Structure 1
Amino acid sequence: MAQSPQTAPIQTVKDAWWEPKIDRATLKGLMKRSNGPGFFFLAIWFSLLFVMGLAIHFTQGSWLVVPSILCYGIVLGFAYAPSHECAHGTAFRTRWLNEAVFWLSSFIWVESPTHRRFAHSHHHTYTWHWKVDAQMGYTNPVKLITWFGDIIGLVEFWPRAKLTVRHASGRVLDRERVYLPDNQIPIMVREARILLAGYLLLITWAIVGQTWAPFLYFFIPRFTGAIGVYSFITTQHMAMQQDVYDHRLSTRSMTNSWLSRVLYWNMNYHIEHHLFPTIPFHALPALNEVIKDQLPEPSPSLLGAHIEIVQTILAQRRDPSTHAYHPLPPGTGGAAPMNVTS
């Protein structure tokens, strides 16, 4: 009897994925964690936030405050990157540092650390398998409105806020229980309540202190600046092939500028990250050098990735089975949809 990804044992699913050929000693070396790169990337991020925050302060009362808030919000939205890396436990070698930054970035990102960690782990196990992957919010064929809504953050931001409120109330959906262990649910609920209390404290401060600061430096920019980070996140899988066990087909890597890579914590190497999610962000460029002859060519830029996505979406109107495809190097094999027998 054939098994679906939902019913197949997790190890069976993991074994089904295509893997590149790489020397074990090299792989082990790439997996070493370090505190230094995380501190460096955070320092760049905080420095930009400080400068943009000063811009908001000095432009209040003029129309220039609008672009100042937008620029600040774009940088703030990249809290996604440390939150994501901390969810993997690979941002820092020191565990408490990893957890402390995880909490800070998750507060900005608006998602409890425990839910983020387990939902994302599920995403890595079942990457881009429709109705299975916990973080797959749309399927092929994709609509242009879905693409547009995703890059400006509307598809994700409000559901994320509602998710936190629902978890704080203690309501957990059946589909969430698939990836959340029973003993982690009370922890997640408690975390959601702490996050919600933090947001309410900021609002209380604004009302009692008669200050716009919480709105100028958090709530408004967090929403309006979402387009920055979501324009990157959208490229990871949108319009790629789904329901296949080869990350090279379901995931998109791209070439970015140095500053983009720092803000995004090297997640432009997204195929590489999915192939080896336990390799820290700072080692992904080195991993790419080792296995790039087994990988498809990355999209040439952020703009290039979105042009490809839009072209694919338009092609899907004529043929719904169309998906974006980057040719695989000859002789590197591949993985077909899994058909496991029990």
Structure 2
Amino acid sequence: KSPTIMSTTATTITTTITTTPAAAVAVAAVEGNGFQQPFERKKRDKLLPDGVLVELMKKSNMQGLVRMSSNLLIMYLTAVAIHRMDIYPGLRDASTIEDLLSVILSRKMLAFVPVYIFYGFQMQCMGFAGGHELLHGGVFRTRWLNTIAMFFVSTAFFEVLYHERINHKQHHKHTLDIDRDPELTSYYSRKELESLKFKSAPGSRAGYLKEFLLVTRYFKLRMCRLISSSMGILTDYTGAGWSMKSPKPQEFDRFVVHELQVWSALQLAVYVVILAAFGTTVDGAKNLLFWWIAPCIIGYGPINYVRNSEHTDCDLTNDSMLNTRTVESNRFVRWLLWETNFHAEHHAYPAVPFFNLPVLHEYLNHHIKHNECKTFTAQQWNMIRPGGWIDKQNSVAFSRF
């Protein structure tokens, strides 16, 4: 194969940065973050020219501020558009089924429904993708800014990011390990995990559709995580138990558990205050439901469209170039998703902040095995098409070893 041509930005970094002792410090920071397996480092680092990682790992308060504020601005403008459609007053004031149907069946709903779904999608982009970057500490260079933003995002978009950070570290360290990856052990039975056919795909097309339709389930799981975490109980993604064979909950440092409990209890307290202040009247409760809770729950559907195949049909190995997918998508979607579509690159170098992932992609793309789907729609089609990933999981046996 001919070598991939790097962008001007990537070339500049390569030619201006030389190997320094800081490179060793940078790599140590990647591992010390708890998100990378040490034995993978030597092979992985050969993929980058000397000194490049040091430059790519540099964080920026300005980049974080621009991305967060712009995404919140887009969300606000979407809310303004929804308000101007004048649908909510009709829904709020409907006193009979006939009144409600007259609003639902109006022509305005044709524009309202996609915009409202997009509003919810933006909430989940901030909660899922923005929250993911925050728990990695990559949004702001200043730690306290990152901490404040992490609590805000966790609370505003019904995430439980301190719980997520504990589980997400295990996912990074044990990606596709059927005994230790909580993204597997939390959602699949032992029978499914131990099957030689397992490809980290839904068990059927009906199960696939449930990921987009039964969205209240995702909200319920997060509330379970929040309540258990506020009591200092470590759980997997179910919020009700610990499914990983290792490590055991008692093996975690007391400080980690205490931090989880304090921040989760504070988040729960904020919800109590908001409900007490705005949810005690019928109109107040309707406002909270329409503008905040309902769109956030609806947003689980479209966000699953872009996150449910990050490791599907990938190799069961510790190599990030083989066990994780990357999707290029388009600039607008990448902006909303904080570049998390470059997922294999992120798994290989989790300490590289979001705004440098496109540059990292240019270095690594020709090393990534599972980058054949250039759009999320192509990825979803590969999931459900005849002979696709769901069918392979149900009919094609393969060796795990």
Normalising to structure 1: TM-score of the pair? 0.82
How big is each residue's C-alpha offset from its partner over 1:296-332, in whole Å with a ceiling of 9 and x where there is no partner? 334110011111222111122221439xxxxxxxxxx
Find the aligned partners of 2:292 and 2:35 in 1 and give their Cα distance. Answer: 42
1:238 to 297, 303, 312: 312
Aligned to 1:158: 220
Higher RCO, 1 vs 2 (CA within 8 Å, ≥6 residues apart): 1
Aligned to 1:315: 392
Find the aligned partners of 1:315 and 1:42 in 2 and give their Cα distance. Answer: 39
1:306 aligns with 2:380: yes
- The equivalences for 1:227-306 within 5 A come to 227-242=301-316, 244-296=317-369, 297-306=371-380
Q: Which runs of 5+ in 1 are unaligned?
A: 1-9, 323-335, 338-342
How big is each residue's C-alpha offset from its partner over 1:77-120, in whole Å with a ceiling of 9 and x where there is no partner? 11211111111111111212211111111113434332222221
Asked if 1 retains the 8 angstrom alpha-carbon contact of 2:322 and 2:368, the reply is no
Aligned to 2:167: 119
How big is each residue's C-alpha offset from its partner over 1:160-209, in whole Å with a ceiling of 9 and x where there is no partner? 22111222244335556267422221221222222222223333312247
1:30 aligns with 2:56: yes
1:73 to 103, 120, 126: 120
1:135 counterpart SS class? helix
- The equivalences for 1:141-152 within 5 A come to 141=199, 142=201, 143-144=203-204, 145-151=206-212
Aligned to 1:82: 130
2:280 counterpart SS class? helix
Distance 1:34 1:16, change over 3 A: closer
Distance 1:46 1:216, change over 3 A: same
Aligned to 1:15: 39
Q: Which amino acid aligns with 1:319?
A: V
Whose Rg is larger? 2
Asked if 2 retains the 8 angstrom alpha-carbon contact of 1:113 and 1:191, the reply is no
Q: Which amino acid aligns with 2:340?
A: M
Moved more, 115-124 or 18-27: 18-27
Asked if 2 retains the 8 angstrom alpha-carbon contact of 1:88 and 1:278, the reply is yes
Find the aligned partners of 1:228 and 1:108 in 2 and give their Cα distance. Answer: 18
Find the aligned partners of 1:75 and 1:12 in 2 and give their Cα distance. Answer: 29
1:28 counterpart SS class? helix
Distance 1:27 1:12, change over 3 A: closer
Normalising to structure 2: TM-score of the pair? 0.71
How big is each residue's C-alpha offset from its partner over 1:188-242, in whole Å with a ceiling of 9 and x where there is no partner? 1222222222223333312247322211121111101211222111121133233
2:340 counterpart SS class? coil
Asked if 2 retains the 8 angstrom alpha-carbon contact of 1:75 and 1:228, the reply is no
2:182 counterpart SS class? coil
1:13 Cα deviation after fit: 4.7
1:67 Cα deviation after fit: 4.3
1:185 aligns with 2:209: no
1:133 Cα deviation after fit: 1.1
Find the aligned partners of 1:13 and 1:53 in 2 and give their Cα distance. Answer: 43
Q: Which amino acid aligns with 2:262?
A: R
Find the aligned partners of 2:63 and 2:232 in 1 and give their Cα distance. Answer: 37
Find the aligned partners of 2:252 and 2:210 in 1 and give their Cα distance. Answer: 28
Matched residues, percent identical?
21
Asked if 2 retains the 8 angstrom alpha-carbon contact of 1:127 and 1:250, the reply is yes
Find the aligned partners of 1:51 and 1:123 in 2 and give their Cα distance. Answer: 35
Asked if 2 retains the 8 angstrom alpha-carbon contact of 1:92 and 1:98, the reply is yes
Q: Which amino acid aligns with 1:76?
A: M
Distance 1:93 1:12, change over 3 A: closer
CA RMSD of aligned residues (A): 2.6
Asked if 2 retains the 8 angstrom alpha-carbon contact of 1:253 and 1:269, the reply is yes
Asked if 2 retains the 8 angstrom alpha-carbon contact of 1:115 and 1:180, the reply is no
